[in-house]
Copies of this chain bind each other. A is one copy, B any other.
Amino acid sequence: MNAEILSVGTELLLGNIVNTDARDLAVTLSELGINVFWQTVVGDNRERLTQAVEIARRRADLIVTTGGLGPTCDDLTKQTVCAALGVELYYDRRAEDELRAYFRIGKGGTMTDNNLQQCWLPVGCTPFYNTCGTAPGCGFTAPDGTHVLILPGPPKELNAMMAHGGVDFLRSLSDEHIVSHNIMTFGMGESRIESMLRDEMNALQNPTLAPYAKEGEVRLRVTAKAKSEAEAEAMMAPVVADVQRLLGDKVYGIDTPSLEDTAMRLLLARKETFAAAESCTGGLIAKRITDIPGSSGVFRGGVTVYTNDVKMLLGVKPETLDRYSAVSRETAVELADCVRVRLGATYGLSVTGVAGPDSDGLHPVGTVFVGLSTAEKTYVRALQLGEKSDRSRIRTLSANHAFDMLRRCILGLPVE
């Protein structure tokens, strides 16, 4: 079964809101084994909505609409969709009772008459009464065989209605399951991974394998479709194993959210901690680790050493800065050592470099040294992140490298 999500709302076309409804529905539909091949957004406009339904019914087995169910004259989804599909509306008494309860009619509440237009539903539908708003939704199958879900726009109402009525309606139409896994990698570019895995990716039909680049990382998504979740998992297992064998320790997790999350969980398990001295990343490492609830168990604290005298306050020797400059392997070593010792952490991380847009006069933009200090040894990665990379990318990649070094050190893998 393949589906089209049809979002109705001028506020989407104007960019006043982001279409999180389409994302939420896409996730749920995909979990149910329903392929979403199209998403369309159209305004609160009868003519264009009719056109959209005409197009969708030809190319999709299931149309899921969101929005346009409320009490105002702009709300015309139900009438328009049903007219286009040749389905009559009837007045649903229970919908009216639910509305009266919502507005506390008879208990001091009031309700404007235009609310009652929400009680008209397609003949033969399964109504989904709204548990956290006014407009009911519904599921039905049109005379031409097109399945239709009509759902409200506010995300809270949409998600509650999908969970309580929509999913059951769809399950009754399909018996296929789709399951995905994300293989998280760091340290190899998308084009390199693609060229290593191209044959495998092209050969695979079910499961499929596809790369997604994101801020200096590459994720490989494996997706399988089967009669049951267990069968889908079994189909994916050899592909996941194969990718892990090919990419080795560049794989930092399966379905894990981020490098910092992986590092944090490794530290928690070992009751170890880290601290960070950041020059060009300016607090980004601290910010990213403290984004995660529970990071106080592993993060002692950080110092943003944005000027040379603050570097010296932390303990970097003036001679080091004079002789090698702030952007150097030597400074990275002292920063990592000092922050580890001063803050009493198991590991000290440091970053010093040129994030741009201007050079420091000594090094090209993108020159970055990332240090990792342990009680036994201090490691440094000397990076060239590209003179054309922007400040934000250089900072993000530098922090990625820092978390990657931490992970690799904890696991006993080569760090530099």
Contacts and interface: CB of A to CB of B under 8 A. Distances in A.
A299 B306 contact: yes
A281 B304 CA distance: 13
B27 A14 contact: yes
Contacts of A73: 194, 198, 201-202
A303 B306 contact: no
A338 B322 CA distance: 28
A381 interface: no
Contact of A212 (B16, B131, B356, B388): B16
B39 A40 contact: yes
A287 interface: yes
Interface of A: 10-20, 22-30, 35-43, 45, 48, 51-52, 55, 59, 70-74, 98, 101-104, 108-109, 111-112, 114-115, 131-132, 156, 160, 180, 189-192, 194-195, 198, 201-202, 210-213, 221, 223, 275-276, 278, 280-287, 289-291, 293, 295-296, 299-307, 309-310, 313, 342-344, 356-358, 384, 386-393, 395
Contact of A112 (B70, B98, B195): B195
Contact of A304 (B108, B221, B283): B283
A183 B145 CA distance: 44
Contacts of A212: 11, 16
Given A42-B37, A191-B71, A307 B302 contact: no
Contact of A39 (B25, B41, B275, B386): B41
Contacts of A286: 278, 282-283, 286-287, 304, 306
Contacts of A10: 210
19 contacts: A12-B26, A13-B37, A15-B23, A15-B26, A15-B29, A18-B20, A37-B42, A38-B42, A40-B40, A70-B190, A104-B384, A112-B192, A112-B194, A115-B191, A280-B290, A282-B286, A282-B287, A284-B287, A302-B304
Mostly, the A contact residues are mixed
Contacts of A35: 13
A191 B72 contact: yes
B72 A211 contact: yes
B291 A301 contact: no
Nearest to A293: B357
A105 to B, nearest CB: 11
A198 B113 CA distance: 13
Contacts of A386: 102-104, 109
Contact of A22 (B38, B41, B285): B41
Contact of A307 (B104, B300, B309, B388): B300
A304 B307 contact: no
Given A10-B210, A26-B14, A41 B43 contact: no
A232 to B, nearest CB: 15
A96 to B, nearest CB: 14
B43 A112 contact: no
Contacts of A285: 283
B310 A306 contact: no
Contact of A306 (B14, B17, B301): B301
Contacts of A358: 293
